[in-house]
Structure 1
């Protein structure tokens, strides 16, 4: 190592071959004086700084970290920015990190009280790679000062080749730590955090042996680099002859903790790069840790950053009743009991009937887990945006009961959160929505100019200094939502953390120290499940407690999810653990049930418990069929039992309802729901409601609210209608708390069919017509045959596949007179439907079943394989000890919310548009209220305009992206500037490529390639 301290520096300097020409030719004292530095008196009271030669200090005094143009008009020295970041890290430790995270970092660094200093060092050292010619030449003013200090570079080399400072930092820190005799294993996990702090972890080969002219050649550059890192380490609190030797941690963190730490490094860097609060400091004599701490404290207060609930006390015996206003049910007590018996953080799979109260039980369990294991927040993931919004309200209410004020810190995380009035109400005091939430961090990417200052995916927030009744604005920017202390959003937010994409470490850091609750996990298909299992692997290795909630979970899926979490905890491949636990993990003996899994002394531990549902009597559901042939065969084979589908439906409901009763009709496609609605409307008039995904947001919200009001839980303020028929799509499967007297549904896989049945006779205390006193489900959309398998609607097969529909059809036909006992039979029915036993189907079906299974298996395998290219960990690399090369062959660039959704959901990509009507006088919102001539939106009209949002069919995506854009008056609007407008004429029609579109006030969006939109 080239040691630049005074005792050795003179001996090295005696040999001119060790000195760069500029250092021997220039006067170090002149350069130092130009920065207000005098040898031996740099800090005035601290002799440690006096160990350095004036020329070395002159170089440190010139090295810049933020150019004047991006630091408030004054250059910010590199050491200043590094100390700013370390000071921010101290505040992150004191005021943000969960207790459990601090415990783990203390253990890592060598014991209680050691983690804080190491964490500050790790965050602050991130930009050491800026002390290289590749970076220092980039700003003309900064470059002149560096050259004047005596450091030089090959101007042709630096101008010809790119060498970013994050990789340069990785290479530099490897040299320094090796010279300071760090263990190789610690060097190997630390350097990727520095080399990857701009979002991607390079391989060791990418640091390379090349680019020496860009890295800084010769003793002068090495002396400056070494002094910079040593002075930084000393200011952070590491003393002694060789401060870097004292930094070395005592234990190697898990790869998950490394990823979380990497995200926290990025977090601290971005905060310390905020141009509003960290102006430049160009005088080295003013660059000290206390000054940086003052700057960081002032910025922290102005930003309004904070952590979660801190140390939670153990819940009292009355906590559940205090939070939710009722005594816990047996299944809720069971979850709390199992959570209290686990000896460490782990995974809890909670299965129970629809309406059992799993969510409330999970939130109560979160309190218990937090108190036991030092957790400081929660993320609740839901299957859709529509289910996220009511959960957002529920979590806020729960937190308010836990401790007043916490409810104001909940972030809503999905791409259309601006449509949620409760969320917007939290941000009602925002003064300037036009400012990009990331614009103030431009200096972060000074050597990658195209990355920062881009439009934010999420809306910006308040830039004032007053206290806001919402999560801090900083948490609302791109990629940072999960860093909020409490968050509710789609499950996509968890799936994103399992993707090999840029800045994935920020998402991982956001889940550190939280409890993760994922509701309705059965909704994840085979493609999404790859990301779910990968996410669980990382959560398992990071010892993040997880609760998975489901009403209907196939046994194989339960085993796979448990295996994924335990594989992470053991740093093993999922397939290996799946085989190992197959014999150890028992199946639940009853329903509802809780399956708990965790690691104790390296060995998997399990608790599998069950109890009786709160409805001990259950429901004896009558299962009937309404045969229906596919449209192409109806004309040739129509009979009394296979009449036109809508005619049969009308006859059925006329007979069963009469003039009293409430029915729910669930169709598998929007077009089919629209057709059914039209047929029923002709007979039942205004007693028919339609709900599907191609209603604009205003209509969808109004109709959902109306359905919940009419068919929700009974109460003194609710009057059940005499007769009502709700026609809906799969929207009614999840978190739709309505109670139907009769259910008519298209054939769907058994777990989804049972979800739909969960809306049948759902609430107690409902007065029903005598003929509807027995719950009944009528399954249609298929037609049995005397010889061979049934005919199934092609549209249903396209969605779900023929194999599972055949197995479910056999179950429906076998239900016979006995029907199904709900919920007692739910686990058995799901296990049977997703099993492999051919005895489920008649003999003359089996050839068709085997063929369908081959096609289904092949498709499942192809979809699972399609996810592999994007998973965070490449196959076979789960045992890797560090993060080096993690992003090799990963997704490129920065993805917006829509692109991320497409990445983790294997559906056809679709876009949303905002409907705008023209009446001859100009544009109007769907409500009829007039906009400005170019679509300008007054503040009081925002809700009216957003209400016109509707999702187009996927077949229109490419055309919409090419032809549709925001109205001119939306260009500067924070919510509408990225929204595509679909302009409708006075008749409510529009042309989009070869398709004609129309919006019907009753039917919603209609699409047709012909003259009549349909």
Structure 2
């Protein structure tokens, strides 16, 4: 096209010069009919040639969707932008007034009787009525069709009817033209066929998700040059090409694996014999209508490989089109990503086939097929490799933004990306539909957070109802938690008492069909690797100098010492104490970037965090990038929870704050993780648990029983990071048990978890304190227990309030919960603070400005009692470079960023 072409037909998409609408200069436009065909063709491909066809059928209790039903849903998809014929929208292409959107006006037609017959009959709605059993279902499906921008839209009676009146353009003529094309594109839709059953709201929500996904994909199609061509045929050809490259059409990747993968196909050493727990997980039957596997086994027993092997079995049997592997933290996801990517590469190389793309689903960390990228504009990423952009663009599409992650083929990411598919947040339906394609794997499952557990349960309910497959993995899952995950309805008397629960075998595999009616766990033999960990509780949590001396002495004897604090502030205090004691020797023993020592926690810029991850893997890992063993030598890493899960690192000695026993066992998984030699004096693993000076956690309980953590000297996250003080006290009691001076892992895992988390144990603990402690202490514990029970109930109610109400007809539930509150509960409560000029990092190599933004936890941007800070981006003020780094002001609070990371300067 030449010049600045104004649309001479009804248009759907405009392209402005330099992609800048403010220029007002249109360089290209896409006809409404062409875009309608684009989205319809993608919808048709997704429903004809992916597992989504079976998933949607399962949601209405059918074995399959017929070609007629696929054609009907594709025809509805072709009508998704019918609202764009209104004058307010079309005026945007001609810089005239009035202007309007395209979703609200067409949805409003549903509550405007005078317009319904006038506008909807030309689209073919009269014939479409026979597609549905329910009288109201056409309304619900039209709402699901038109509200394709991320959330339901309610109709109002405040309709501007002039938007639809004929003038130089006639919207009615274009609606009729669109309806005629839909009939010609999808003639099967208008043939006889069983109507969709009445009131299947889950199905309506899922269809909206598929359509929204199709709209995202179809909106990236090239604009049509020929205004008279066969738009559907053109769109089908583009959809075939793009969906194949994106691996959403998985058939070619599934069939290129000509022989069974199994364990021998995924491991570096093909002759390796799988552990019993892995073999059982792989050999369990594949339920035709979906199933769930819960794998409880010790850290290092190969659960990750068990999940990958199970995935490839399902993938080859074409019961899934992909995998999403979810872990709790960004650090864990980045570490796990390379393991999964390398495994997928190995599997396909051994069968001489091209692998599907492997996406890293961690916001701000762009990675696919092992290649990193950098964002250069919204929805645009520059990839740092030699691939031709045109060749690789479609393959990398899913990696270029969080809303797309679940549309990837094989995806490794954080659990929050999964949970967002079940919440009342924009594009949840699209995420949910994309997730239905996958084998869902969730690692490090435990039940310390009722809110998160309820969200995960909602995801599983929908996933299994659609015939999906899932695996949950944990080294520390309590009996109550396992029952609630593997059984649809759990009564209190279903939960065995502690004595019985501690006798349940370990490792344990529970494999159930999607109905989850009769879970029957199966005990297996452990991996064979055991370690006897000497457990000591030392009241040093308040003494960073003593912690530093102990760590330095051990490191000088050749030990790799891992110190895990619950709070970033405590982490920094210990780091500073070690640096001060070591002086010039600090960079020799401490985790360092170049010659600059640094702790490992979450409050670093993205680039610095990447380098810290690489540094700790190099200092505490088993092999280097070339697969050679890393020599064990004296080293100290001071960290927070960022290192406790999914990282393949190994310490000779561990020092950790008191935490719940299930979390403590996760941390111990980083101690003597590899079966390798350790220096003299550290041949046997030892874990020192740092506790407060006073053996009285009741000082962290304030009036009404609420935890506070400020009553304890130093706090140390006892009552803040971990709010149920009963669990912490039970863990402390375990450490004081003379019969448990040594914990044998994994033999003692079941006993330890039940004695530290079982609800009966926790109630009995408080009962004993009420009998034996002074009145004020007894009353505090009684109030705290009541507060915990109330909070758990409130969390369950809160979770229910923010969940998608899929049991309600689409459009009859609006998103009422504030998005910021939802994000906060998911741990996404960081505020991005941007710098007008990039600042240099305090960590080497200091090669010029590299930090353009920092993520700051919302609570650091306000004082106690101040209102919650908006999660919108902020710009830093009064930015000043210093000898140690730089400082700045955000939301009237002053911060510094140095080699110790980000911290707030108190009182300023």
What is the Cα deviation at residue 929 of structure 1?
Answer: 5.3
Deviation at 1:482?
Answer: 1.6
Deviation readout 1:182-201 (Å, 9 max, x if unpaired): 24425254223223223332
1:583 is displaced (CA, Å) by 7.2
Contact 1:589–1:609 (Cα < 8 Å) also in 2: no
What is the distance in 1 between the residues matched to 2:757 and 2:434?
A: 35
Give the distance between the partners of 1:647 and 1:106, measured in 2 at CA: 64
For the pair 1:794 / 2:715, whether they are aligned, the reply is yes
Structure 1 position 687 matched with structure 2 position 627: no
One of 88, 105, 110 as aligned partner of 1:164: 105
For the residues of structure 1 that align with 2:452 and 2:782, how far apart are their CA atoms? 25
User: Is 1:335 the counterpart of 2:286 in the alignment?
Assistant: no
Matches within 5 A, 1:564-579: 566=488, 577-579=489-491
C-alpha distance in structure 2 between counterparts of 1:224 and 1:963, whole Å: 43
Structure 1 residues 130-156: Cα deviation after superposition (integer angstroms, max 9, x where no partner): 456666677669x9xxxxxxxxxxx99
SS at match of 1:501: coil
Displacement of 1:120 in angstroms is 2.5
| 2:264 pairs with 1:321 | yes
Structure-2 residue corresponding to 1:615: 528
Q: 3-state SS of the aligned residue for 2:431? A: helix
Q: Does 1:627 align with 2:578?
A: no
The 1:277–1:67 alpha-carbon spacing in structure 2 relative to 1, beyond 3 Å, is closer
Q: Quick check: 2:658–2:732 contact (8 Å CA) kept in 1?
A: yes
Is structure 2 residue 613 aligned with structure 1 residue 709?
Answer: no
Match of 2:306 in 1: 361
Change (3 A) 1:69 1:622: closer
Q: Distance in 1 between matches of 2:185 and 2:102?
A: 34
TM-score, normalised to structure 1's length? 0.71
2: CA distance, partners of 1:509 / 1:620 = 46
Output aligned runs, 1:268-287, within 5 Å: 268-274=214-220, 276-279=222-225, 281=227, 286=228
Matched with 1:779 is 689
Q: Equivalent residues in 2 for 1:562-601 (5 A)?
A: 562-563=486-487, 566=488, 577-579=489-491, 582=494, 589-599=504-514
Supply the RMSD in Å over aligned alpha carbons: 4.7
Q: Which of structures 1 and 2 has the bigger CA Rg?
A: 1
CA spacing shift, 1:958–1:299, aligned 2, 3 Å: farther
1:844 aligned onto 2:772: yes
Matched, 1:195 2:195: no
Q: What displacement does 1:210 show?
A: 6.7
Any conservation in 2 of the 1:621–1:777 contact (CA below 8 Å)?
A: yes
Structure-1 residue corresponding to 2:861: 957
Aligned-partner Cα distance in 2 for 1:687–1:883: 59
Measured in 2, the distance between the counterparts of 1:860 and 1:986 equals 48
- CA 1:373–1:900 in structure 2 vs 1: closer, same or farther (change >3 Å)? farther
In the superposition, relative to structure 1, how do residues 830 and 950 fare at CA in structure 2: closer, same or farther (>3 Å)? farther
**What is the correspondence of 1:7-26 to structure 2 with a 5 Å cutoff?**
none
Mean alpha-carbon deviation: is it higher for 354-363 or for 830-839?
830-839
Query: What SS is found at the alignment partner of 2:426?
Result: coil
Question: 2:565, 2:571 within 8 Å by CA — same for their partners in 1?
Answer: yes
Q: For 1:560, which of 468, 471, 484 is the aligned residue?
A: 484
Cα distance, 1:510–1:818 mapped onto 2, change above 3 Å: same
Deviations 1:227-277 (A, max 9, x none): 4465234312427xxx74647645569544433322222233344444733
What secondary structure sits across from 2:482 in the alignment?
helix
C-alpha distance in 2 between matches for 1:787 and 1:672: 18
Per-residue CA distance 1:506-551 (angstroms, 9 max, x = gap): 2122112211112212287333333222222222222221111222
Q: Which runs of 5+ in 2 are unaligned?
A: 1-6, 17-24, 592-598, 701-711, 864-868
The alpha-carbon distance between structure 1 residues 317 and 94, as it changes in their structure 2 partners (threshold 3 A), is closer
Count of paired positions: 829
Q: 1:410 and 1:504 mapped to 2: Cα distance?
A: 22
Give the structure 1 partner of residue 329 of structure 2: 384
C-alpha contact 1:118 1:247 (8 A) present in aligned 2: no
1:846-925 equivalences under 5 Å are 847-873=779-805, 879-880=807-808, 882-891=809-818, 902-905=823-826, 909-911=830-832
CA contact (8 A) 2:833 2:875 kept: no
The answer (yes or no) to whether the contact 1:388–1:490 under 8 Å persists in 2 is yes
Partner Cα distance (2:698, 2:875) in 1? 54
Superposed CA offset, 1:922-945 (max 9, x none)? x788546565xxx6xxxxxxxxx2
Q: Is 1:753 matched with 2:642? A: no
Whether contact under 8 Å (2:356, 2:410) holds in the other structure is no
Q: Is this contact kept in 2: 1:460–1:476, CA < 8 A?
A: no
Moved more, 987-996 or 824-833: 987-996
Q: Structure 1 residues 743-752 or 477-486, which shifts more?
A: 477-486
Distance 2:91 2:897 in 1: 58
Decide whether the 8 Å contact of 2:242 with 2:394 is kept in 1.
no
Contact 2:734 2:756 in 1 (8 A): yes
- 2:278·2:306 contact (CA, 8 Å) conserved in 1? yes
Q: Aligned residue for 2:560? A: 662
- Of stretches 504-513 and 908-917 in structure 1, the one that deviates more from structure 2 is 908-917
Offset at residue 505 of structure 1 (A): 1.9
Deviation at residue 330 of structure 1 after TM alignment: 0.9
Among 964, 976, 985, the residue aligned to 2:882:
985
Change (3 A) 1:609 1:962: closer
Give the conservation status (yes or no) of the 8 Å contact 2:86–2:102.
no
Does the Cα contact within 8 Å between 2:30 and 2:223 map onto a contact in 1?
Answer: no
Change (3 A) 1:807 1:231: same
DSSP 3-state at the match of 1:796: coil
Verify: 1:417 aligned to 2:365, yes or no: yes
Q: Which residue of 2 aligns with 1:149?
A: none
Contact 1:133 1:215 in 2 (8 A): yes
Unaligned runs of 5+ in 1: 1-60, 144-154, 438-455, 567-576, 632-644, 893-898, 936-944, 968-979
Question: Equivalent residue for 2:469?
Answer: 545
Q: Is the 8 A contact 1:352 1:358 kept in 2?
A: yes
Output the CA distance in 2 between the equivalents of 1:727 and 1:779.
14
How far off is 1:316 after superposition?
5.3
The 5 Å alignment of 1:224-239 reads: 224=173, 227-228=176-177, 230-238=179-187
Which of 827, 835, 840 pairs up with 2:750?
827
Q: 168-177 or 124-133: which moved more?
A: 168-177
Q: Find the counterpart in structure 1 of residue 594 from structure 2.
A: none
Deviation track 1:418-439 (CA, whole Å, cap 9, x = no partner) reads 4x6x7783559xxxx65543xx
Q: Measure, in 1, the Cα distance between the counterparts of 2:419 and 2:280.
A: 29
Q: Is the alpha carbon distance of 1:728 and 1:470 closer, same or farther for their aligned partners in structure 2, counting shifts above 3 Å?
A: farther
> Compared with structure 1, are the counterparts of its residues 908 and 478 closer, same or farther at alpha carbon in structure 2 (3 Å cutoff)?
closer
**Cα 1:69/1:847, change in 2 over 3 Å:** closer
Q: Which residue of 2 aligns with 1:498?
A: 422
